[in-house]
């Protein structure tokens, strides 16, 4: 009897363990099943990021729709907001992390720093915030609005979307001096690698994320040093001669430095891989872009991303999720701003 009882208990235990193993396998399978959802490239944040997909599912179910509609409306009025908002998100994350500090206005804030003076789309973020405060007061952060809007601008320019982890809170500090170390248009690959590495991004992330230059423009004053009298020569020798003549016409030596030129010649408003193809032909507008082709550390990555079966869209989504989790403020830290252009304390003072 005792032997039969022990045998019976053993069978029951093994049966339970088998069910547990099956359940674990199912959970693992579901966690891995994130390759593609409704045509979107899908990437998940790291386990310590503090953000997650669907953060507002119960507290503000229409949050992403409200942001998307605001971006769509802004884009319909002025397509230039697409590269503006995308760049805004980059510049926000590279300074103190993705905390929406770039959105704060006022003297000596990040918005007043040189690299941020020509950014467009702040009014789109403000519009989305106004609508979200009406629908879900004090719930959705400005940092999350910016991360979502950046994704939506890629979609509007014919790129592939991705699921954006949310749950960021807003920072309270915004100083122009903190923007001094943003990646610059004259940076070498080594300098760019150092700046990206300092934030936990690798060389592949660097080449993929800079691919965001497939949309947008640069002022002549930013790159004119490449066109005339550089390093004792008439021009930067890495520039294609035909393209050089074109740029010199668009940006005369003593001309208006604010004149804008497409960063991706021939396809400046469409999300594609022609940016990388242009680099291979000596048609990179910025020095920091063209060196991605001339430097052996990054050229193989450019070649892969410009290939016919390029994985650029999938990789961009993955790197964007990684970047958007840099230094995020979550939990009890930070705040949820009432308006994106001012910290709550200042807003309260203005209302009193």
Mark whether 4 is an active-site residue.
no
Question: What is the Cα Rg of the chain in Å?
Answer: 24
DSSP 296-320: TTTHHHHHHHTSTT--HHHHHHHHH
Angstrom distance (rounded) from CA 19 to CA 24: 9
Annotated catalytic residue, options 4, 89, 91, 213: 91
Q: Are 301 and 295 in contact (CB under 8 A)?
A: no
CA–CA distance, 288 with 227 (Å, rounded to integer): 14
Residues 6+ apart with CB under 8 A from 350: 342
Cα separation of 260 and 252, whole Å?
Answer: 12
Q: Which two tokens stand for residue 268?
A: 């400046």
Q: Give the angle 199-200-201 at the CA atoms, nearest 5°.
A: 95
Tokens standing for 292? 């991605």
Phi then psi dihedrals of residue 68, to 5 deg: -60, -45
As a whole number of angstroms, the distance between CA 153 and CA 87 comes to 10
Q: Are 316 and 212 in contact (CB under 8 A)?
A: yes
Which of 273, 275, 255 has the alpha carbon at shortest distance from 265? Answer: 275
Nearest to 286 by CA among 188, 181, 179: 188
Cβ atoms of 263 and 157 closer than 8 Å = no
**Active-site annotation, residues:** 91
């Amino acid at each position: 009897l005792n032997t039969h009882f022990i045998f019976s208990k053993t069978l029951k235990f093994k049966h339970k363990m088998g069910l547990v193993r099956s359940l674990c396998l199912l959970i693992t399978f579901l966690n891995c099943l994130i390759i593609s959802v409704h045509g979107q490239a899908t990437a998940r944040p790291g386990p310590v990021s503090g953000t997650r997909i669907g953060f507002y599912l119960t507290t503000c179910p229409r949050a992403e729709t409200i942001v998307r509609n605001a971006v769509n409306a802004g884009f319909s009025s002025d397509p230039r907001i697409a590269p503006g908002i995308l760049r805004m998100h980059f510049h926000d994350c590279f300074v103190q992390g993705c905390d929406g500090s770039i959105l704060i206005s006022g003297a000596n804030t990040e918005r007043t720093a040189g690299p941020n003076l020509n950014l467009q789309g702040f009014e789109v973020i403000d519009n989305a915030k106004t609508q979200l405060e009406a629908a879900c007061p004090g719930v959705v952060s400005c940092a999350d609005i910016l991360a979502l809007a950046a994704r939506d601008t890629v979609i509007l320019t014919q790129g592939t979307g991705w699921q954006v982890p949310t749950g960021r809170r807003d920072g309270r500090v915004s100083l122009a001096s903190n923007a001094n170390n943003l990646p610059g248009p004259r940076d070498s690959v080594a300098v760019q690698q150092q700046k990206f590495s300092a934030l936990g991004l690798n060389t592949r992330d660097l080449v993929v994320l800079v691919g965001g230059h497939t949309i947008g423009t640069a002022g002549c004053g930013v790159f004119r040093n490449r066109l005339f009298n550089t390093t004792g020569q008439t021009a930067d020798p890495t520039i294609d001669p035909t393209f050089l003549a074109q740029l010199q016409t668009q940006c005369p030596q003593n001309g208006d430095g604010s004149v804008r030129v497409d960063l991706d010649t021939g396809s400046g408003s469409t999300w594609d891989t022609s940016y990388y193809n242009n680099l291979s032909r000596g048609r990179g507008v910025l020095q920091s872009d063209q060196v991605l082709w001339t430097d052996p550390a990054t050229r193989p990555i450019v070649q892969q991303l410009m290939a016919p079966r390029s994985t650029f869209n999938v990789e961009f989504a993955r790197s964007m999720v990684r970047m958007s989790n840099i230094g995020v403020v979550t939990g009890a830290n930070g705040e949820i701003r009432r308006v994106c252009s001012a910290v709550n304390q200042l807003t309260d003072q203005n209302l009193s």
